[in-house]
Structure 1
Amino acid sequence: MKVVVQVSDSDKVAQAVKSVVNLVNDLGEELEEVEVVFHQSAIVATTSAESVRPLLDRERVKVVACRNSLKAQGISEDSLPRGVKVVTSGVGEIVRRQKEGWIYLKL
């Protein structure tokens, strides 16, 4: 199974990261891939390796940052920790994944 996770609220980032770790721990090998898409105010979390490290350290988990949100916040893509992937639009990425049959989870 593949899961795309939307994180858009900066106040919910820490709990969202914990929830994704719990998801991976619980479902284990049942999960083929998890993609965590950060956008809107939550985009600031992608600038801190400490914030997203629990996700980057997991197999089968990808951390994705929205380029539109980075630009809106004045954040350079070069400032992102290694392993964070940038996509043009966070919402576009989520819609594409859903079209591909991924399970959608908003945290």
Structure 2
Amino acid sequence: MSNILRHKSKNPDKNVSVKAKSVSRKEAGFGEDKKEVVNFDVSVRMNNHTRNALLTLAKIKGNNTSSSSVISDLVDQYVEKMSSQEFQIYKEILNAFELKDELSAKLKSK
């Protein structure tokens, strides 16, 4: 595992292609809208204690629950507790990020 970042050449190829899968907003958990959203994996940095707590929650939940699923559940629980004003701001910012992802995917697919 420690060799994962050791490149054999001094100038590794940094050209990366990203394949994005389109899913409906309903499939992504954003309601009944028929608009397609871009879906791709990303990394999130966290310290080892947070990661350990996250993995523990996934183990406790069972059924081969992924860390991503636990995070989604925690976000849902947090959003449910927001005031209506906080929720409106949350939706606006989330829509901006979703639009950014959509535009980025369109530019990469050209």
Structure 1-normalised TM-score? 0.25
- Name the structure with the higher helix share: 1
Whichever structure has more strand as a proportion of its residues is 1
TM-score, with structure 2 as normaliser: 0.24
Instruction: State the structure with more CA Rg.
Output: 2
